Each structure stands twice: as C-alpha cells, then as structure tokens.
C-alpha cells in the first residue's frame, strides 16, 4: 500500500494510524432541519493519495444514508474517512446531500434540493471551515417553497429551492455548501443547519397576483389554459385545488 495511513482495530474501534499517533477513522454528520424535513446523503470515495489502484466498475465506492427517508430517518450519521474496497485504499472525497420535504400525502407530493460537503487534502484558507472548542462545525442554508398549478384541475404543486446563508441568515449564491481538509475531520461533528423561509412564492412569474391575504391565480384565456399568464389582466381569476383536495380561490389560506 502506497498511502501513509493504516486502518487498525483497537478495542472494537477503528482508528487511523499515522506514524505514532492514532485518530478515529470517522466523523459525525448531522442536520438541524425544519419540521417535516429530512436529508439523504451519499458519501463518495476515491483512491487515496499516491494510490494507483482502481475499483472494478466503481462498485461500493459510495455509501448512502437515509436513502429511504420516508420510512426511516436518522438525523445523525457516522461517516468513514478511509475505506478499502476490492483491495484498493479509498478516501472520502465529498458528501452529496439532498434536502427533502413532503407537502402532501401522495408519494409525489414532495420537493427536494441539493447541498454538498467537499473534503480535500488541502484547501485555501478562505474555503476552509473552522471547528468550535467542542469539535463542531456548522454550515447554513435557507429553503423556500415555490408553488404553481398543474394539470386540468389546476392542482397546487411545490418546488423546494435551497440557498446557502451565513450564520446571520443572509442569503448567498449557490446551494448550501461546506469544505474541510481530511486532517480536520477525525472525531469531529459537521452540522448542516437549514431554516425555512416564512413566505412561499410563485414558481412562475406573471401567473399569480399578490393580494392582502395571499395570492390569486390568474385565469388566462380560460380554465383549460395550462400556462395562464396574467398578461395585465388582474381581474379574472380561477380556483385551484390544494394537495389535500380542497377547492380554493386564494393561496395559501384557501378561501377569502
């Protein structure tokens, strides 16, 4: 093995042996999410630095967490830094995250967006996160529901849009993201904290009109008009159907 590390078993624990020092071979990933939200995670591994081996077909180079988030969800995951697959020493490269939430009872009534954690041997200081004295590092994001109507009944469907923020909640560009070096992570905790925007907004412009109590759906040419842009007509509105089946005239309060 060309790498500088070895995985060893000690008292039932896996440790990372580097020279004379030992460190845990795992770190903890967890998330603080709005009620009803869940995350999926896929830890992606690549050959460790200095290794020339490959894994046939790339099999077992990814490890998933909460892939069945609807049935079974755990907010905390222990993620290995190093693994050996088919005799090839691997190191974690990134964690691909999906932030999911349901807004209705049918299986398709959910929205999701992505987030990412990168892991590198080295990072420029401006991209590297720090840890608290307790060993925790936190990164932030805000998600917002976008709503629209779909189908002949003009049923409400929603899209989830998530953006990164700073600790003060100020929106940034791109999806929630954080980056760490390998030597930062052994035994540490990485937490993703996501908040939910107080207001929802239309997913498509010029299709809804803001009124004091919410939003009203423009009629368009007629009820069969699937695009139904307002085009300056802010007097003719249509009803629509909520995910729970209610017939409504104003969103989100249903009835005026």
pLDDT in tens, 79-113: 999 999 999 999 999 999 999 999 998 989 999 99
- Residue 192: strand pairing partners: 31, 139
Share of the chain above pLDDT 90, in %: 82
**Cα torsion angle, 244, 245, 249, 255, sign:** negative
Asked if pLDDT for residue 78 goes beyond 80, the answer is yes
pLDDT band at 4 (very low <50, low <70, confident <90, very high): very low
Q: Domain spans of the chain?
A: 26-196, 204-248
Q: Which of 134, 130, 163 is nearest to 146 (CA)?
A: 163
Q: Model pTM?
A: 0.85
Q: Which of 165, 33, 185, 180 is nearest to 98 (CA)?
A: 33
Q: Name the average pLDDT for the chain.
A: 90
């Amino acid at each position: 093995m060309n790498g500088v590390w070895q995985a060893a078993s000690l008292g039932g624990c896996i440790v990372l042996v580097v020279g004379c020092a030992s460190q845990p071979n795992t770190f903890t990933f967890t998330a603080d999410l709005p009620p009803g939200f869940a995350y999926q995670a896929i830890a992606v591994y690549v050959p460790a630095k200095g290794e020339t081996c490959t894994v046939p077909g790339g099999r077992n180079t990814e490890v998933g967490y909460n892939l069945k988030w609807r049935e079974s969800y755990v907010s905390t995951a222990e993620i290995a830094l190093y693994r050996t697959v088919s005799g090839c020493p691997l190191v974690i490269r990134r964690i691909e995250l999906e932030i999911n939430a349901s807004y209705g009872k049918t299986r398709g009534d959910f929205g999701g967006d992505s987030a990412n954690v990168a892991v590198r041997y080295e990072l420029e200081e401006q991209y590297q996160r720090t840890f608290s004295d307790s060993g925790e590092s936190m990164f932030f994001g805000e998600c917002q529901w976008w709503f629209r109507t779909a189908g002949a009944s003009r049923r409400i469907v929603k899209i989830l849009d998530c953006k990164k923020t700073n600790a003060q909640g100020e929106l940034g560009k791109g999806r929630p993201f954080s980056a760490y070096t390998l030597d930062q992570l052994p035994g540490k905790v990485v937490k993703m904290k996501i908040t939910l925007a107080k207001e929802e907004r239309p997913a498509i412009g010029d299709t809804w009109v803001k009124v004091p109590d919410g939003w009203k759906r423009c009629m368009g040419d007629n009820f069969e008009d699937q695009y139904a842009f307002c085009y300056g007509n802010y007097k003719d509105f249509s009803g629509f159907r909520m995910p729970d089946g209610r017939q409504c005239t104003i969103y989100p309060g249903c009835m005026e």
